[in-house]
Structures are given as C-alpha cells and as structure tokens.
A and B are shown apart, each in its own frame.
Chain A
C-alpha cells in the first residue's frame, strides 16, 4: 500500500506549486491565478480523497484480519530521518483503524472546503495564497494522523499550528485578524512546549519514539496490538512506571492547547476572524481534534501505565464541556456560538476517552466503550460541524455580518442553507436517526458506566447543547427579521459551489445517522462503528441502552421545545424577561466569564511587570554585555595577533616549526 505516500506528497506538491509559481499570464491581461490555483488545489485534493477512500476500503475490507479478529497495524513506509544514537527520528506512514478513519474525515472535509472556497473566497486578493495555505494545512494534518512515531506527530503538529496561524491571519490588514492569529499561535505554542517536554521524557525513558515498538520485524508481520513502549526493554523499568504518567499528562497539556480545553481555550473563539471555510476545516473538524487524536494514539499507554491520570482528562473535559455550553448560550455572533459549541463537543470526546477503565477478559471491550464512542463522535462531529460552519459562511456571505441581529427570518431567502443547517442542528442535539445521536449516546453511556454523576453531568451539557443550537437556529432562520437591513440588501442563496458541500455533508450526517441508529436498535454488526474502530482492535457491536437512549432523546426534545418556545416568535417576551431577571449572569456568560480579562491581568500585570521586566534588565545589562565583551575581546585579540600574518614566508616556516615543537612537548608530557 505504498501509494499512501502520495496522500502526503500531493498536497505538498500542490502547496509548492501554488505557493511559488506565478500563475498570472501578464500578456493576456487576464487574471488566471484564481482559477488555476483553485483548480490545482482542488484537483490534487480530489485525488487525495480518492486515494484515502481507496486506502480505507482496502484496509477495512481487503486486509485479512489477524487471528483474534483485530485489524493489523500496517506500516507501508518508514525511513529514519535523523539518527541520534539509540534514538532516531523516523518519518513514515502508519495505518491503523483510527488513522484510516482520520484520513476519511480530513480528506472529505478538506475537499468540501476546497470546493466551497471557490464561491466564498471569490474575488479576494490573495486567493492563490489562500489555496497554497489550504494545501499546506491538509498535508500537515494528514502527516499528523499518519505519523509512525510521536516525534513525527510533533513535527506535523507544529506545521498545522503554523498553517492555522497563517490562515487565521489571512486578512492580515485587519487588526483583529492579526491579534487573533498571534493569540492562537502563542497559546498553542505555550501548550506545545509541554508536549515537547513530554515527548522528550517519554523518549528518554522508553528509548523509543515509535508508536509500534520493536521496529521493522513487528511492522512486517503486523503488530497485533498497538504497543507504543515496551517496558521490558525500557531503560529504567521502575522509573518508567512513575515517569510515564507525567510525560503523558504533559502531552495532554499540549493536546488540550490544540483542542481548546479550559483554560487554554481562549484562542479558538478569536480564531473565527479567519475566513469561514478555514474555521470549518481547521477550527471545527480537523486540527482542533488533534488533541483527542493524540490521546487516542497514546491510549494503550494511558490505559496500561496511567489509568489514574485519565481522571484529569475527565475533569478537564467535563468542566470545559459545561463552561463552553454556558457561554454559547449567550453569544450573539453566530461563528462564536459555533466556536464554543466546538469546544464543548471536543470536551465530550475528551471525557469519553477519560472515562475508559482498564478492563479484563470479557469486560475488555465494555471498558473501552468510551474510546470507540470518542472516535465515533469525532467522525460525526467533523461532518455536521463542518456543515454548520459552511452554512454560517453562506449566511455571512449573504448578509455581510456575523451578528445574529442582522439575520432572522432567513429561511425564506436561503432554503438549502436552512435545511442543511437544521439537519446538522438536529444531529448535534442528539435526535435519533441523525448521526450525532448514535455517537453522543455512546459517550453518555460510557460516562454512566464510569460514574452516575459524570453521566448526569454530561446529559445536562447535552441538553444545553440542544438548547443553544436551537437558539441559534431560530435566531437566524426565524425570529425577528432585520427588515431594515434586508431591504437595503436582499439576501440570496449562495452559488452552487457553496451549497454542494452543504448538501454532501448533511447527506453524510443523515446517512450515517440512519444506519447507526437502526443498527444500534437492531444489533446490526455491519452498521456498527465499533466493528472497525475500538481500543483493543477487536470488534464491538453497538447496541443502545434503551434507558439512556430514551432519557437523552427526551431531554434533547425538551430543550429544543424550550428553545422553540422562547426564540421562535417574532417577539420574544420570555427571552427579554429572562435577561431582565438575571442580567449579571447573561452579561458574564456573554463576556465568556471574563477569561480573556483574567489572562490579560496575569500576563500584563503579573508576568510582564513583575517577572519580565527584571529579566529584560538582566538581558540588556548582563547578557548583552557578555556578548559585547566577547566582541571586544575578539577585536582586540585580532589586532594583537595580526602581525603573525606578515606575508613573510620565512616567518611562516618558523611558526610552522615552532608549532611542531610545542605539539611534541605537549604530547610527550601529557601521555
């Protein structure tokens, strides 16, 4: 399956071509660069998508399963990039259920975004640059999920960070975009520092960066289990047992930064300053789930060596889910609502990973229900959230504003956007026969297995999700229409390049939803996500726990009903009353509980004023002075010994001979 290499190479080539080649043909006077760049980018992505689907087909259906019914881990390509003694940095491609699943997610969403951007970015200056960055991002993200070792993952991890920075700051002439891109870069880099430290500790104690240890031998016959470290060969076995949890938690901090977990979430809402298709691709479907993917990748080590530490993931995830949902209820910018919703949903995936418990024997699968649910939710969420963001893009395209107050009653003007948006809202709310139901329900049952408190907490957050999503839906498509604005500029449906991706993504959402919901109730093996992606690799059939399914559906329906009751009408007396009743709560939630201000205070008042200033003084007066001294010494010595280089051959020979004698004396007396 060495053709998988092209999945990485094609976007790289298209990045280089689009990024470097000047596509305007000056003689004709026409601007070709738009069409050419877009076509090259989309075409290469189209091929990548086909290759990814083919890879998935071949991997899931044509690769023989191992004796115990698990899917093998394949390494079609692996090369040592930088040897460092025992340790070495490799670059390669690793295929296992989760990486192949991610291939599908990334290539699908990315292709949709490429097509969508034709319409959305039409006429923008820097169109070519935009497509170059998109290709760079896609390449990096694919490299991240296909990594054979944690270091390669880190390399591409940084690359996605860079391309995210470039794309958030795409409108680099506007101040908010600049500020947002810097914020995103600095916050994620800060978190990545912990990731790097974690990697180094991990590499030092296990003497390997590889996900599948034991090198090529195991690669060849296909490692049954994904074993990232082999404690038998670990440098210090006992130390590794205590150090591994630390390194894993450090890596989790890096993942939390990328996946916008509280308190490192502050960059994601601001990242919405970037073009909307970018938000859909990077800040909803792919890059932000890198943290979840990272934990899933390291999961066998978590579960074997640091099961207790998983509770950190649960606590962080559960709190973030609630916090983001609460903030999303009060936002008025539609992209901000979706951003906080993304944070909340990713927190769901984190919690699902955290609630896995080490199981044995018969319960082995049962215990890792959360792992499967998390990956499943990642998949479904990527599809419907991308659809929501792209829909939001269509709306922004139509009314030229992000504010909900500028919209209202849009269903009349934009039917396709309206229906696809509704489908995605139903999916995220967790209504049966939509994809979000199946995956969210699995997460909640996993939470209930972990502890009832966790289960009820997450059920509550799911209810809030349904509420704020339908608040958003009614605010945009029903509610009070901003007639003044709409008369001035009548909204219209987006061109086909923009609506096609919406339709495709919502078809996937409904299709997956119908199959998995029916499959879950009727115990169909083949329609179960668990038959391909599980923690241990063995097949697992999803069947719904009727109580939980019924409860969560009823709660979601109640929330939707509540949102309908409050927000559907032209006048919204209840909403106004609620604001009046608790003005402070609403204000706090609207201001995101003042987290940005807290950061401002900590960074400016404490770190900059109290810590950075003395360091700056030290830098200016001690470190600079040291270098000045070095320069001064160099200069003086240079003047002092310039006489040696006299141009006189006899003197040269004399120095030559003197050197020999001195060397001889040194050698004679030191040995």
Chain B
C-alpha cells in the first residue's frame, strides 16, 4: 500500500488532529468543569489554523486515494474551507451559551461532536464511491442529532432531537435502498463507473435517482422532505440551529451537485424536471409559511428552506457557472445567516427572548445590534449592494442562461415575498416602538394575533467579545463579498473543466 496517498487527505487528517488535541485537552485540562485555558479560544484557534492550512494548498490540483474511494479537487478544498469558517463562527457564537451553568461541564463535548459532524461532511464531499459517501453522510448526521438534543433537560430540545433522528433514519434507509438499486442497475458503486454505464432507459436507475434526491433533499430541507426542519430548528439550541441551517445544508447541496453530474449525467433531463418542481415548491411553500411565523427560530427555518430552493437553482443543468454560483451563494448565505443567528443567539442569551414581537423597539436600546441584523437580513433578502444581491444575481443568471426562464421568474416573484417577511423584523426593530401595541396594529394588518402586548423593549446589554468577533466576520463578509467580485472570480477559476463534460451529456440527452 502506498502511504503517500494519505497526503491527499490533508483536510480530513488535520481536522482529525484537531479533534484529537481537543479531546485530550478536554480530558486533562479542565476535568472539574471550570473555565481554564480550555474554553472557546482553543477550538477556535486550532480550527483557524486548520482552515488557513487548507486554503493555501487548494491550488495544488486534483488527487485521489484508496483506489478512487476518496477524491480531491481544488473546488472541494474551497467548499471545505467555507464550511470550516462557518464552524469557527458557530463556535464563537456558542461561547455565551456554553458558559451557562448547566453547559459548562459539557462544552468540550459540543466542540467534539460538531467537529465530528464536520469531518463527516468532509468525507461526504470528497467521496468517489457510494459507500464512502454514505459513511460520510451518517458521520455527519448522527452526531448532529446529539447536538440538536444538546439541552437534554429541556423538553423541546429532546423532542427536536428525536424528530430529527427518526426522520434522518427514515431518509437514510430510503437513500440506502436507492444506492442498492443503482448497484443493481450497474454493478458498481464507483461514481465514475456508474456515470459511464447508467442510462435513462433503466427504470431502476430512475428510482435510484429519486431516492438519492430525497435523501439529499432531507439534508438540504427541500419541499416535500422539509417537514422536520421547523420543529427541529425551533427546539434545538439556537447555535445548533445556525449550524444546521448553514453548514449541514451547504455541504449537502454541494455534494448533491457533484454526485448528480458525476453519477447521473445521462439523466440530466430527469433531474431537471424533478428539481424544477422541488425548487418551485420549496421557495413558495417556505415563503408562505415564513410570513406567519412569530418565533424567530421557526421563522429562520422557513427562510432557510426557501434559501435552499434558491441554492439548488444552481444545480439546474449542471453547468460550470451553476457550480460557481452555487458555491458563491453558499458562502454569502453562510455569512448572512450566521450573522443573523449570532444576533438571535446573543439576544436570547442576554434576555431570553426569541419572538419577533419581542424585537419591537430594539433599535432604541441596542442600535448597533439592530443595524447588524438589518444588514444580514438585507443580504438574505438580496438587496444591493450587499453580498446577497450578487449571489442571487449570479445564481439566477446561471439558471437563466441554462434556459429556465419561467423558473427564474417564479423565483424572482418569491424574492418579493421574502423581502416582505425579512422586512417585518426590520420594521419591528426600527419602526415599532415599545409603545406599539396590538390596538394600533389592528387597523394596519389583519394578522393581529401575532403581536403580543409588550411591556417594553429588550434592555440594553453588552455583547461579549466572541460574539463580536463572529458578527464582525459575518458583516465583513456581507459587505465585502458584495463590493468585491474577486471571490466569485476566484471560485469561478476552479469550476472550469466542468462545462465540457456536461455539454457532451446534455447533447446526448436532447
């Protein structure tokens, strides 16, 4: 066996090293649960080193290990780095929550479990074989259930964990069934070999494709596989919700894209059809639900479903431009969504409030926080000059160029609806003063049942330095990614080479 192939697995191995160091540190450095050297700093620093080390060699080109089970391309390095940065931000956000009395003893666990999830995602992204892919997927989702139920003494958290694991198992079972069908149709589980032999005429392959889409749709929370999302997001600790809505979703979306173009290139017409309906329903249904929400976490769940719909627009036709805009969208969505979650977390930790109506008059007491929240929401809604506008613009352009004009139109109409509900929060923070009571609202809108009479706005508080750092990273991303198109060009330079493969395939199909 050639051990040099391990060198290709740099990202996974270094992450594993981080996990081991943290594990040892957790065991020996703070056994009594007191805050010592080991708190948020160590994991953040280690993970930052890991990320920096991984971003640099992403230009080294492609490679593979273990007979093609593990594949590595520069694009994958970029996606892994994006996910790692997201995890760093999540850790920074989690500091205050983990400093709670009941969480102090388990804070080491949180880091380890989250990093194991990340490791699973790394393997899933780099897989070249369905078994590898499945192991990665499960490594990512089982620890995830543990983090969802992290506040195990809180009823909602435990319930959310149970719902998540049940449906995750259900979808994993179906996915495994789909994989076995594909194996039956082609006799191999290597992505490259399946891609060569699988044809449209084989109904087994079609069913396999549907089951694969459903499995990934569950992770990305696309309609109709999304129903767990709202309940889980609401029940899970807010930090975990943030992680779930960005990192987990993003990795799955990227894998969906790569597997579709590698394994099912011949079936491009079929999956285009499927995704057309999935996207339309995801965006629309999620928007329709988001309008009614008052609980912010539930609200963010539906927002995340609709964002997932936009994200998957990049998958249509599997073009290189789609790939670039998908990754860019992922990056921008990550900073904006995590920024919003950082604000939600810090408000929850400081005041215990989580409803939109609680945010009434927030601007008068916490103006800076309100402003940052507004920036993130504007980016999510896609208002120029923030990054969200450009990411939406690129992904719409990719779909438009691929010929999906109606789909883009529907997505555009839905952005108008999304603007409405994102601005509801902005309105609550800025316009509705603490004296803005129910009676006044009756004349304005019919949904008066959502607004509770308020005793006053959330009092002023100081944000801790970890959350400040997280917010700084996110807002810098929201602003800079919008103004400088360099990031997009950089990603774009790595997605070359895809076009030719797909041109041949789409040519065959049509």
Contact = CB atoms under 8 A, between A and B. Distances in A.
A196 to B, nearest CB: 16
Interface string B197-226: 000100100110111011001100001110
A670 interface: yes
Interface centre among A630, A653, A660 (most CB of B within 10 A): A660
B274 A647 contact: no
A638 B417 CA distance: 13
B289 A79 contact: no
Contacts of B230: 645
A26 interface: no
Contacts, number: 105
A83 B401 contact: no
A634 B170 contact: no
Interface in A649-668: 649, 651-653, 655-660, 662-664, 666-668
A667 B210 contact: yes
B274 A660 contact: no
B274 A649 contact: no
A175 interface: no
A660 B206 contact: no
Given A81-B485, A638-B292, A664 B227 contact: no
Given A83-B485, A83-B489, A667-B210, A656 B166 contact: no
A663 B214 contact: yes
B171 interface: yes
A664 B214 CA distance: 10
Contacts of B354: none
Interface in A58-83: 79-83
B285 interface: yes
Interface string B487-510: 011001000000000000000000
B21 interface: no
A647 B218 contact: no
Task: Classify chain B: how many residues form its interface, as a range.
Answer: 35 or more
Contacts of A80: 485, 489
A656 B218 contact: yes
A30 to B, nearest CB: 27
B292 A642 contact: yes
B269 A671 contact: yes
A27 interface: no
Nearest to B292: A638
Interface string B260-296: 0000000101110110011000000101110110000
A644 B305 CA distance: 15
A626 to B, nearest CB: 11
B49 interface: no
B231 interface: yes
B225 A656 contact: yes
Which secondary structure dominates chain A's binding surface? Answer: helix
A656 B167 contact: yes
B56 interface: no
B288 A634 contact: yes
Which secondary structure dominates chain B's binding surface? Answer: helix
A279 to B, nearest CB: 31
A652 B492 contact: no
A580 interface: no
B170 A660 contact: no
Interface in B234-280: 267, 269-271, 273-274, 277-278
Interface residues of A, number: 36
Contact of A641 (B166, B209, B271, B285): B285
Interface string A78-93: 0111111100000000
B227 A656 contact: yes
B397 interface: yes
Contacts of A638: 288-289, 291-292
A371 to B, nearest CB: 35
Nearest to B483: A81
Given A84-B397, A660-B211, A664-B206, A652 B489 contact: no
A660 B273 contact: no
A660 B210 contact: yes
Contacts of A645: 227, 230, 289
A419 to B, nearest CB: 48
A584 interface: no
Interface in A319-369: none
Given A642-B292, A655-B224, A667-B273, A634 B485 contact: no
B449 to A, nearest CB: 12
24 contacts: A79-B486, A81-B484, A83-B492, A84-B397, A634-B288, A635-B446, A641-B289, A644-B227, A645-B230, A649-B162, A649-B166, A649-B167, A651-B227, A653-B170, A656-B214, A659-B217, A659-B224, A663-B210, A663-B278, A664-B206, A666-B273, A667-B270, A667-B273, A671-B270
Closest 8 interchain pairs by CB?
Answer: A659-B224, A652-B227, A667-B270, A638-B288, A664-B210, A671-B270, A81-B485, A670-B273
Given A83-B489, A656-B227, A666-B277, 6 more contacts: A83-B492, A653-B166, A655-B224, A655-B227, A671-B269, A671-B273
